[in-house]
Homo-oligomer: A and B are copies of this chain.
Amino acid sequence: MVLKNEKHQKIESFENIKQIFIEYLNKTNHRKTPERFTILKEIYDFQGHFDIEMLYNRMKINRYRVSRATLYNTMELFMESGLVIKHQFDKNCAQYEKNFCSKLHDHAICVKCRRVIEFHEPVINKVEESLKNSYGFNTLNHSLVFYGICEYCSINEKAIKK
């Protein structure tokens, strides 16, 4: 298993990311509005997963007013251009994640504290191959989420029991 370590990630510059988005907008005949680029910059600067409300509040704090509707619309564009991935970990808990580094990865979520561990597990590719061979199923993407108790919470549990 490969730890997703920030130090080892290839960091793409904002200009590169912006260029990818511009190319997508051109190709699909969408307008290059200032809102779209401001939102892109905002999520570029933000670390980790986010949801719409979080993004809305951060932008308000930064004195940039966008409507929630625009945020939802823009996320759609980001997803279609491959810059953002959406996770529906639970109902009423849609999380977005920027996808600026190329490595796809999976998640382990602590059911107690909602902490998210990210990891990359190449063995999943073997499963993809099996699906192709056994069922003729062509995988586009996948979602692998483990639910359980993280290290910190299990230490706390033991402490409480004592």
Contacts of A142 in B (CB 8 A): 144-147
CA distance A91 to B127 in the complex (A): 26
In the complex with contacts A139-B146, A140-B147, A145-B143, A3-B134 CB distance below 8 A: yes
- Interface pairs (25), CB distance under 8 Å: A1-B127, A1-B130, A88-B89, A88-B90, A91-B92, A108-B137, A110-B137, A117-B131, A119-B134, A119-B135, A121-B130, A123-B126, A123-B127, A131-B146, A131-B148, A135-B150, A136-B150, A137-B148, A138-B154, A140-B147, A140-B149, A142-B146, A142-B147, A143-B145, A144-B144
Question: How many A residues have CB within 8 A of the partner chain?
Answer: 39
CA distance A47 to B1 in the complex (A): 37
Q: Is A104 an interface residue (CB 8 A)?
A: no
Number of copies: 2
Q: Other than the known A108-B137, A136-B154, what 9 A-B pairs have Cβ atoms closer than 8 Å? A: A1-B130, A1-B131, A117-B131, A117-B137, A121-B130, A135-B151, A142-B146, A143-B143, A144-B145
A contact residues vs B (CB 8 Å cutoff)? 1, 3, 88-92, 94, 108, 110-111, 117, 119, 121, 123, 126-128, 130-131, 134-151, 154
